[in-house]
A and B are shown apart, each in its own frame.
Chain A
């Protein structure tokens, strides 16, 4: 995807790469209590294991709609025992607020896809790995 032409000044253009929005959205989503992590693709998971580097844009898709507007799609796994709709609403709010305040883009929609729940023991194993 092409980078978003954010602003043009007399000194030059300002572009924001879609990966920047993905990272902001991913970090904003994972800091919400109840979110266990982002869910990426199988290929993304292998790449992450091979490179040994955490992919902060994992599970986030950004679509630029009109001028300085975008919509975000997130795939998340939640901790066991939380109220799913409540956590998802908090994720939507936090992601929207983070993107809008950090980039000035207007967020039309934040679609949240819950792909699974993580139990405490699994989370512990994941942290150790």
Chain B
């Protein structure tokens, strides 16, 4: 979970607290007590729109974390069995290794990677921003070899495929959309 996700989660928790307090006060009002002043102010045209916006944001945040939970059900690590127990290597570790190996290749200006589990091993989806005047085909082959060899050697896990996407050439204006080949 990223720092942004954690902040969003705090916001969602605060929204939950506010909604809970509101529900309690509504309940109190429904059972005969006087409705609180702020509750009446919500009903005034002009202020209700803020509650609408808050409600929509809360629903969106809730949906985001629901999706996060469902996605997190798949293991985000590779397991190896050790002599005294399991050894788990997180996908983030494997990604860092791939990025380090990829950045060392001649012609690579920027490099990023994603990791997924394939049928016979790991699959790396890499995204490269290349230097100008580079033999892109050769550089891509070098990236594939370097990532596969380095990850297999240091992490001891099989790499099934390394998919290279040359997304951009350094010096040209970077595109805002980040495309990945999957």
Partners in one complex: yes
Residues in chain A near residue B88, CB distance under 8 A: 111-114
**Chain B contact residues (Cβ within 8 angstroms of A): what range?**
20 to 34
A107 touches B80 (CB 8 A): no
Q: Which residues of B contact A5 (CB under 8 A)?
A: none
Contacts of A93 in B (CB 8 A): 83-84
Residues of A within 8 A of B155 (CB): 84-85
Q: Is residue B172 within 8 Å, beta carbon to beta carbon, of the partner chain?
A: no
Tell yes or no: A29 within 8 A of B by CB.
Answer: no
A113 touching B77 by the CB < 8 A rule? yes
Q: Given contacts A42-B6, A81-B154, A83-B156, is CB(A114)–CB(B84) below 8 Å?
A: no
Which residues of the other chain, B, contact A96 by a CB distance below 8 angstroms?
Answer: 84
CB distance from B130 to the nearest CB of A (A): 23
Which residues in B have their C-beta under 8 angstroms from that of A114?
87-90, 93
The A/B interface has a contact count, at CB < 8 Å, of 73
Q: Are A71 and B85 in contact (CB under 8 A)?
A: yes
- Inter-subunit contact B100/A80 (CB<8 Å): yes
- Bound-state Cα–Cα, A71 to B84, Å: 10
A72 and B96 alpha carbons, distance in the complex (Å): 26
Q: Which residues of A contact B135 (CB under 8 A)?
A: none
Of the residues B1, B82, B96, contact of A112 by C-beta under 8 Å: B82
Number of interface residues of A (CB under 8 A): 26
A88 CA / B82 CA spacing, docked (Å)? 8
Say yes or no: A82 contacts B83, CB within 8 Å: no
Q: Tell whether, in the assembled complex, residue B86 and residue A109 are in contact, meaning their CB atoms are under 8 Å apart.
A: yes
| Docked-complex contact B154 and A89, CB < 8 angstroms | no
B residues within 8 A CB of A78? 93
> B56 to chain A: closest CB distance in Å?
27
Q: Assuming A84-B93, A88-B80, A114-B90, what are 4 further A-B pairs, CB within 8 angstroms?
A: A71-B85, A85-B87, A110-B82, A115-B92
B contact set with A: CB distance below 8 Å: 1, 6, 77, 80, 82-90, 92-93, 96-97, 100, 153-156
